[in-house]
Each structure stands twice: as structure tokens, then as C-alpha cells.
């Protein structure tokens, strides 16, 4: 049981570290914000990227963690 809790805590910390890394990469400068509001490009690239909505990812991870906890509780009963 202790090993399972330890593994769960390690998993939780890994996910939190990954999420924080992603969230820290989304900071924008004043020039980028002004360019966006004016409809001007804020950078030039040879690739097309898609938006990554971190709230959706966080909600998904939270629901998966809740499901895992419920499943574990059912197994111990």
C-alpha cells in the first residue's frame, strides 16, 4: 500500500512539473500582445502551430486522477 501511495505521489509530482513547465512557456511580451491586438504577426516561422489549452489538459488530468483514486478505493474495499 505504501509503495502505491509513493508511486502515486511521484506520478502527481511529475504531472505537476510538466504542467508548470508548459504554463511557464506561455508568457507574452508587451510587443507580442500589441502585435496580436493589431492583427500583426508577432513572429515569423516556417511551421504552423496549434493552440494548446492548458485548462483543458488540467481538467482532463484531474478527472483521470479522480478516477484512479476511486478505482483504488474500490479495490481496497
Q: What is the pLDDT of residues 1-35, one digit of tens each?
A: 566 678 888 888 888 888 888 777 777 777 777 88
- Residue 39, Ramachandran bin (φ over 0: left; ψ between -120 and 50: alpha; else beta): left
Counting residues of the chain whose pLDDT is more than 90, the rounded percentage is 8
41 or 64, which is more confident? 64
What are the boundaries of each domain within the chain? Answer: 2-76
What distance in Å separates the CA atoms of residue 53 and residue 23, rounded to the nearest whole number?
A: 10
- The verdict on pTM exceeding 0.75 is no
Determine phi and psi for 3, rounding to 5 degrees: -65, -35
Amino acid at each position: 500500500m505504501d509503495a502505491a501511495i509513493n508511486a502515486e505521489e511521484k506520478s502527481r509530482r511529475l504531472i505537476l512539473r510538466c504542467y508548470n513547465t508548459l504554463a511557464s512557456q506561455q508568457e507574452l511580451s508587451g510587443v507580442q500582445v500589441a502585435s496580436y491586438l493589431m492583427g500583426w504577426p508577432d513572429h515569423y516561422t516556417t511551421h504552423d502551430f496549434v493552440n494548446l489549452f492548458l485548462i483543458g489538459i488540467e481538467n482532463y488530468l484531474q478527472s483521470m486522477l479522480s478516477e484512479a483514486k476511486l478505482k483504488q478505493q474500490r479495490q481496497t474495499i
